[in-house]
């Protein structure tokens, strides 16, 4: 990061003064020489996802990075430590015990449409609770949680641009998103309960690029299905802009909830046009019925309630991120749209 690191003498001022002096948890490990903040070790969960790899690749140039993921990390940079652990396991705690961690970036939210709901819940919620426990116990100064603008949910009565105070209604029609909402809520609770940790919750809009998620997979379809008579405005953001936002969130002193949007919003039909692909308009009721069938037969990865994303608006106002984090998307809309076609590694 380009920001000047804070000097060590400033460090105590980062800690809130209302904590009683005795409340510093006993930490058996001798801490190394105090590094200026903004240069210490960071721990990234979900490091082997495509977004995780991107974050690791950017961050390891500046500082020590520990990647945590139960998946293997085939072509990882040499100086990155990869711990192949399940975040629900005790072994995660050993990582915190072994060395002082300055920041935790939590990207490890599972949204595999095929994993069972119980597995999802245990991984996403129970695993995240464990992580929060360690962050609190070892007094990690910074926690960045990647949530999503999908927590607001597409609704017919949404404001055109939702602010961070909008209610999280994404689960109302689409129960699979409830885990993510719970993670977001847990992070919010942690933000208030542990002021000694600077908690940043990022809620990016649909991330596209090399990442694989519902939105980018939708854009990779050979023929894009749309809903007859609907053409909502949508926002997409390039993964490197999200990585940039995460970098801005790591800067000492930044805390809070931030929506992250990409370049200007555009109608779904313009995305299809930029992709240069044919599209096929389908009546909503028919489309939903067919998708439900296909889903039941395991022939599609798109659950039927996700159709609302191509029916109603779910856009965010990212003025707060621009003003307070200094975040600015750098990738233009054409490149952002076409990035789904490229495999960058």
Return residues touching another protein (CB under 8 A): 156-163, 227-233, 263-267, 270, 274, 283-284, 312, 332-334
Minimum CB distance to another protein smaller for 111 or for 173: 173
Q: How far is the CB of 316 from another protein (least distance, A)?
A: 12
Q: How far is the CB of 156 from another protein (least distance, A)?
A: 4
- Measured CA to CA, the distance from residue 60 to residue 66 in angstroms comes to 9
Minimum CB distance to another protein smaller for 146 or for 291: 291
Would residue 87 be called left, alpha or beta, if left means φ above 0 and alpha means ψ between -120 and 50 degrees? alpha
Minimum CB distance to another protein smaller for 147 or for 235: 235
Hey, what are 41's tokens? 């070790």
Q: What value, to the nearest 5°, has the Cα angle with vertex 67 and ends 118 and 47? A: 55
Bridge partners (DSSP) of residue 127 are none
Hey, what are 147's tokens? 């949530």
Minimum CB distance to another protein smaller for 21 or for 229: 229
Nearest to 232 by CA among 265, 277, 193, 276: 265
Is residue 32 packed enough to be buried (19+ CB in 10 Å), middle (13-18) or exposed (0-12)? exposed
Bridge partners (DSSP) of residue 106 are 45, 145
Minimum CB distance to another protein smaller for 6 or for 270: 270
Q: How far is the CB of 166 from another protein (least distance, A)?
A: 9
Q: How far is the CB of 263 from another protein (least distance, A)?
A: 7
Q: How far is the CB of 234 from another protein (least distance, A)?
A: 10
Q: What value, to the nearest 5°, has the Cα angle with vertex 93 and ends 87 and 94? A: 120
Q: Do 104 and 45 contact (CB within 8 A), yes or no?
A: yes
Minimum CB distance to another protein smaller for 177 or for 268: 268
Minimum CB distance to another protein smaller for 155 or for 199: 155
- Measured CA to CA, the distance from residue 47 to residue 161 in angstroms comes to 31
Minimum CB distance to another protein smaller for 69 or for 306: 306
Hey, what are 85's tokens? 């652990």
Hey, what are 194's tokens? 């542990």
Q: How far is the CB of 288 from another protein (least distance, A)?
A: 13
Q: How far is the CB of 306 from another protein (least distance, A)?
A: 17
Cα dist. 293→115, 286, 308, 311 in Å?
A: 18, 11, 17, 20
Q: How far is the CB of 323 from another protein (least distance, A)?
A: 15
Minimum CB distance to another protein smaller for 14 or for 279: 279
- Measured CA to CA, the distance from residue 121 to residue 266 in angstroms comes to 34
Q: How far is the CB of 180 from another protein (least distance, A)?
A: 23
């Amino acid at each position: 990061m380009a920001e000047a690191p804070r000097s060590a003498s400033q460090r105590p001022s980062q800690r809130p003064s209302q904590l009683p002096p005795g409340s510093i948890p006993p930490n058996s490990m001798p801490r190394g020489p105090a590094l200026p903040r903004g240069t210490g070790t960071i721990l990234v969960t979900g490091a082997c996802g495509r977004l995780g790899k991107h974050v690791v690749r950017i961050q390891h140039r500046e500082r020590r990075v520990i990647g945590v993921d139960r998946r293997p990390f085939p072509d990882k940079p040499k100086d990155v430590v990869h711990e192949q652990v399940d975040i629900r396991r005790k072994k995660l705690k050993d990582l915190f015990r072994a060395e002082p961690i300055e920041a935790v970036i939590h990207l490890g939210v599972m949204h595999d449409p095929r994993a069972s709901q119980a597995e999802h819940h245990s991984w996403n919620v129970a695993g995240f609770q464990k992580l929060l426990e360690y962050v609190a116990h070892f007094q990690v100064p910074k926690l960045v949680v990647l949530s999503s603008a999908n927590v607001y949910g597409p609704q017919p009565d949404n404001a055109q641009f939702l602010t961070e105070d909008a209610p999280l209604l994404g689960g109302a029609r689409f129960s699979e998103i409830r885990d993510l909402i719970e993670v977001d809520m847990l992070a919010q609770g942690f933000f208030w309960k542990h002021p000694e940790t600077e908690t940043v919750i990022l809620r990016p809009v649909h991330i596209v690029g090399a990442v694989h998620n519902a939105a980018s997979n939708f854009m990779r379809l050979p023929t894009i299905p749309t809903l007859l008579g609907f053409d909502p405005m949508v926002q997409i953001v390039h993964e490197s802009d999200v990585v940039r936002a995460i970098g801005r969130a790591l800067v000492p002193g930044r805390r809070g909830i931030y929506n992250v949007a990409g370049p200007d919003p555009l109608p779904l039909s313009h995305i299809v046009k930029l992709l240069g692909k044919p599209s096929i308009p389908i009546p909503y009721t028919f489309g939903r019925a067919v998708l439900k069938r296909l889903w039941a037969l395991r022939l599609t990865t798109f659950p039927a309630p996700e159709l609302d994303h191509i029916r109603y608006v779910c856009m965010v106002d990212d003025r707060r991120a621009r003003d307070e984090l200094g975040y600015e998307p750098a990738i233009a809309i054409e490149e952002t749209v076409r990035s789904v076609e490229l495999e960058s590694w």
